[in-house]
Amino acid sequence: MPSLREVQIRFSAAVLATDGTAPAFARGDAATAAERMAIYRRTIRSNYRNALGATYPVLKRLLGMRLFNAAVDAYVEAEPSRSGDLNVYGDAFDDFLARYAPAAEWPWLPDVARLEWAIDEASRAQDSTAEPDVVLGALTVLPADKLPGLTLKLDPSCRLIASAFPLLRIWQVNQPDHGGETNVDWSAGRDHLRVRRERPGAAIDGVAIERLPAGDFAFLSALVGSALGEAIERAQDADAQFDLSTALHGFIGDGTIAGIGDTM
């Protein structure tokens, strides 16, 4: 008798097989067993289509139901789930779409996927406990020579996305409640977006997407992994007009910068 592990390996292979052969482990007649294994295959396929459809509603709308479902099926084959939590499946859909031939004529789709994944992550990220006064106070008492080596922590829900396409506009005109013009000005240039959950107690208990100036975007992006001195340099490279004092007050005040880390 094959071991339980062997049976599970064979069952998994039979779930994936589409040749209609009856699995040897099954009881009863072959045709019935093959037909019934197909129920698992269909259920699983439909579960993934629904799960990714909920995470990527704009992609689904842009691709249309048939192409979206085909893309999900191909994604599941290329990047199978490795977690029992279906809510965290789909993080590599952006890179997958970039190499998915049927979607090649719409090069902005991977960025749409990045934005929708960021919204999804932001919605379930840890709650920020930052109090702007405390962060500002801690910063003020630091000696000036310590500042360049200081690291700053961003709100756990904050995600930063740069796109060569008018990504925010693409996303907005594909919202179910969007009214009015739906045209996209493709010459509008790069988008630098901050995705972030609204602070608890704010009017909207959801995720906000905002366009940032290039300098601010470079500054926040550099703060993920680099110290303040380096972040200032990168911000000034991106925008000569970048003003540190305004950026710090703004981002601490709205909670984007949520804490002070170690000195590098």
Partner 1 sequence: MTPGQALPVAAGIGLRAPHVGYVKAQRPPVAWFEVHSENYFAEGGPAIASLERIRADYPLSLHGVGLSLGSTDPLSRAHLAKLASLIARVEPALVSEHLSWSGVGGRHFNDLFPLPCTDEAVAHVCSRVAEVQDILGRVIAVENVSSYVGFADSDIAEWEFVAAVVARTGCKLLLDVNNVYVNAVNHGFDAETYLAAMPGDAVAEIHLAGFDARGPCLIDTHGARVAPEVWALYRSAIERFGARPTLIEWDVDIPEFSVLETEALAATTILESRDAIAA
- Residue 135 · residue 258 · CB < 8 Å: yes
For residue 2, the minimal CB distance to partner 1 (Å) is 7
Find the shortest distance in angstroms from Cβ 48 to partner 1.
7
Minimum distance from CB of 215 to partner 1 (Å)? 30
Instruction: Rank residues 13 and 164 by Cβ distance to partner 1 and give the closer one.
Output: 13
| Bridge partner list, 153 | 259
| Residue with Cβ nearer partner 1 (114 or 197) | 197
Phi, psi of 144 (to 5 degrees): -55, -35
Binding site for partner 1 (CB under 8 A): 1-5, 7-9, 11-12, 15, 23-28, 32-33, 35-37, 39-40, 43-44, 47-48, 51, 80-89, 122-127, 156-157, 197, 200, 205-206
CB of 77 to partner 1, least distance (A): 11
Closer of 15 and 136 to partner 1 (Cβ): 15
* 138 to 132, 154, 164: CA distances (angstroms): 10, 15, 37
Instruction: Give me the least distance between CB of 155 and partner 1, in Å please.
Output: 11
Q: Are 164 and 112 in contact (CB under 8 A)?
A: no
Q: Are 14 and 28 in contact (CB under 8 A)?
A: no
Q: How many CB atoms lie within 10 A of CB 112?
A: 25
- CA–CA separation, 262 and 2 (whole Å): 55
Q: Which is nearer to partner 1, 19 or 85 (CB)?
A: 85
Residue whose CB is less far from partner 1, 42 or 99: 42
Angstrom CA distances, 104 to 76, 96, 97, 99, 245, stand at 19, 11, 8, 7, 43
